[in-house]
């Protein structure tokens, strides 16, 4: 959690974090970002070397502090020896926290609306202003070239080697894509702003070949926002591509080879119309404008799951709420 959701707090404590982590799991399920699989984690507010995430349970069924496990950032091992069984892919979270000290929340999802962009070769881009954080380029990380010798080739990030490779995709050595870190430092302090852009990832989201996507943020509310609007951006782009292809005519352009019987040489299919994406400046400015509204959305999403009979949150209520 961030202090933004608790304006009376000078410091966010574990009770806040537990309640927020349970609520976040429910919100992400309610909005179809998580199903029986996928997970969210939060760095511990009083120990940057550990993080918390639910045990091996469907996100909708997380309900109390007993369902949460504290892990060491260094190697994704549980802090408590008798901790409940955890998610196999907790190395996604630990390696991102290890590489990026300013990151405090991570979401990993197999959202079906995003999956086509993990396998088709069609790039996911910012096409709507609510998803400006995507920028003009979202990288696709492929696990196939990073498996350890003798390991299972099941696309799961089951060890630190794969986790480290995935985390590196958020800040490659060279990047011609949208530089996410340039505006992350401008975030208001109450929702986790940073003044160290050199420690920021270049990308807010990384797609995973044949698997899903992962996003990170400075706070839990912001991570939930990005996960939900990654889904919505993928929906909008897919729908736009579908209706564009259905509506637009296609012409074949090229040179006619008379001697070759009238065949068209170097032919290209030209479609009418063109899908409009946000420019780098538009993506930057759109996200900058939306930064201060994240808590408005968070308040709505909290209420949605609080009144829904499926979701139970038995975490203690803080005294000053």
Known catalytic residues? 89
Phi, psi dihedrals of residue 41, rounded to the nearest 5°: -135, 160
Residue 181: how many other CB atoms lie within 10 Å: 22
DSSP letters, 216-281, are: EESSHHHHHHHHHHHHHHHHHHHHHHHHHHHHS-EEEEEEEETTTTSEEEEEEEEESS------HH
3-state per-residue secondary structure call for 46-63: CCCCEEEEECCCCHHHCC
> What phi-psi label fits residue 210: left (phi over 0), alpha (psi between -120 and 50 degrees) or beta?
left
DSSP 11-48: S--HHHHHHHHHHHHHHHHHTTS-SSS-EEEEE-TT-T
Radius of gyration in angstroms for the set of CA atoms belonging to the chain, rounded to a whole number: 22
Please state, in angstroms and rounded to a whole number, the distance separating the CA atoms of residues 91 and 214.
12
Q: Strand, helix or coil at 282? A: helix
Rounded Cα distance, 258 and 276, in Å: 38
Separation of alpha carbons 177 and 257, rounded Å: 40
Q: Residue 316: helix, strand or coil by DSSP?
A: coil
> Phi and psi of 4, rounded to 5°?
-60, -35
- Phi, psi dihedral angles at 24 (to 5 degrees): -60, -40
């Amino acid at each position: 959690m961030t202090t933004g959701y608790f304006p009376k707090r000078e410091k966010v404590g574990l009770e806040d974090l537990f309640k927020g982590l349970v609520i976040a799991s429910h919100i992400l399920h309610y909005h179809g970002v998580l199903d029986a699989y996928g997970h969210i984690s939060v760095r511990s507010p009083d120990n940057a070397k550990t993080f918390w995430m639910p045990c091996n349970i469907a996100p909708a069924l997380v309900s109390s502090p007993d369902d949460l496990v504290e892990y060491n950032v260094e190697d994704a091992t549980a802090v408590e020896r008798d901790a409940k069984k955890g998610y196999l892919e907790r190395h996604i979270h630990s390696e991102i926290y290890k590489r990026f000290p300013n990151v405090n929340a991570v979401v990993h999802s197999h959202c079906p609306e995003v999956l086509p962009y993990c396998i088709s070769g069609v790039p996911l881009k910012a096409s709507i202003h609510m998803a400006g954080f995507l920028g003009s380029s979202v990288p696709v990380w492929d696990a196939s070239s990073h498996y350890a010798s003798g390991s299972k080739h099941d696309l799961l990030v089951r060890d630190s080697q794969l986790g480290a490779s995935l985390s590196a995709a958020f800040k490659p050595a060279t990047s011609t894509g949208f530089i996410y870190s340039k505006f992350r430092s401008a975030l208001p302090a109450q929702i986790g702003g940073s003044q160290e852009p050199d420690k920021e990832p270049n990308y807010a989201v990384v797609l995973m070949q044949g698997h899903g996507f992962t996003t990170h943020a400075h706070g839990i509310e912001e991570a939930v926002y990005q996960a939900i609007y990654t889904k919505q951006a993928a929906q909008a782009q897919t729908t736009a591509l579908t209706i564009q292809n259905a509506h637009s005519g296609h012409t074949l352009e090229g040179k006619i080879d008379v001697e070759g019987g009238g065949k068209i040489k170097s032919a290209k299919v030209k479609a009418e119309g063109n899908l409009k994406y946000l420019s780098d400046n538009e993506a930057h400015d759109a996200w900058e404008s939306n930064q201060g509204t994240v808590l408005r959305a968070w308040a709505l999403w909290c209420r949605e799951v609080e009144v829904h009979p499926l979701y139970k949150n038995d975490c203690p209520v803080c005294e000053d709420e």
